[in-house]
Amino acid sequence: MVPGPGAVPADPVKPPSRAPGPRTADHRARTVIEALPWLETYQDRIVVIKFGGNAMVDDELKQAFARDVVSLRYAGLRPVVVHGGGPQISALLNRLDLEVRFAAGLRVTTPEIMDVVRMVLAGQVQREIVGLINAHGPFAVGLTGEDARTMTATRRPAWVDGEPVDIGLVGEITRVDPDTLRALLDRGRIPVVSPIARGEDGQIYNINADLAASALAVALGAEKLVMLTDVEGVYANWPHTTDVIGRMTATELEKLLPSLASGMVPKMEGCLRAVREGVRMAHVLDGRVPHSLLLEVFTDDTTGTTVVPDARDTEDDNR
């Protein structure tokens, strides 16, 4: 049809948008309807999210994560982000020609490496995440476990094949003071926490981000703990199959823990501690899947592995 006088023709490059067809509209409506009970369930509830793995070095995934966290905040939840930074730390150590070594699933941290860890986590990674979130509104505030003595730690022991090993300045959290985080949440902010803590002796410790997220979730009385990582979940019989365990109780996880790959141990140890100490559920999700966080919170299309307390392992629990 030829436009009449004064009409504005359609953009010759971008075709005019069309109303969604019945199936598309129905799908969108179902998605919104499906989210409604979860919006009610999680209103004003704290969700602690550990952001790590390869998702932290992929620009599109980082952008998607920031949008998802802000979406949670707008939906009435109170998100807290605890970030890792392993790939970035290893990259800088390689450039500085410093040894990258792990034992018992944890980075061996000499005083020299601790300086790099502190610089990368608090000076690079945290600032980038804060900036990405704040591109969508003035919400994110960065801090470390040192700030306001939010986390206090002591040197963490480690064993490999039953033998003690020295992993250096790797800390184990002994105390959490959540007051600063609660004050930020009450003001509508999104805390972004770097997993660094100070000991009673003044020593600075490198804290595994999974365990830091778990400790903060317990101290804050979080509804759930979400571990975003670069695996699909807990495999039932790795490496023989790639079948993911969708749901397990704390006791089931405790029995499985010794057989897990070393990199999964801190994640699942964190999940176990969280649900044993009051967090209603913990999830391990594939952070390589865009918007996996929103899918977990607001839909029934949950992937990954969910860990629940033994006493609440019923159909009345969430997914």
Render the chain in DSSP notation, one character per residue: ----TTPPPPPSSSPPP-PPPHHHHHHHHHHHHHHHHHHHHTTT-EEEEEE-GGGGG-HHHHHHHHHHHHHHHHTT-EEEEEE--HHHHHHHHHHTT----EETTEE-B-HHHHHHHHHHIIIIIHHHHHHHHHTTSS-EEEEETTGGG-EEEEEPPEEETTEEE--BSEEEEEEE--HHHHHHHHTT-EEEEE-EEEETTS-EEEE-HHHHHHHHHHHHT-SEEEEEESSSS-BSSTTT--PBP-EEEHHHHHHHGGGS-TTTHHHHHHHHHHHHTT-SEEEEEETTSTTHHHHHHH-S---SEEEE-GGG-STTS--
How many residues would you count in the chain? 319
Instruction: Judge whether residue 72 has pLDDT over 60.
Output: yes
pLDDT tens string 93-111:
999 999 999 887 789 999 9
CA separation for the pair 252, 275 (Å, rounded): 12
pTM: 0.84
The answer to whether the Cα torsion of 309, 314, 316, 318 is positive or negative is positive
Mean pLDDT over each residue of the chain, to the nearest integer: 85
User: Mean pLDDT over residues 35-48, rounded?
Assistant: 75
Quickly state the pLDDT bin for 35 (edges 50, 70, 90): low
User: Please, what are the domains in the chain?
Assistant: 41-312 (3.40.1160.10)
pLDDT tens string 156-200:
988 888 888 899 999 999 999 999 999 999 999 999 999 999 999
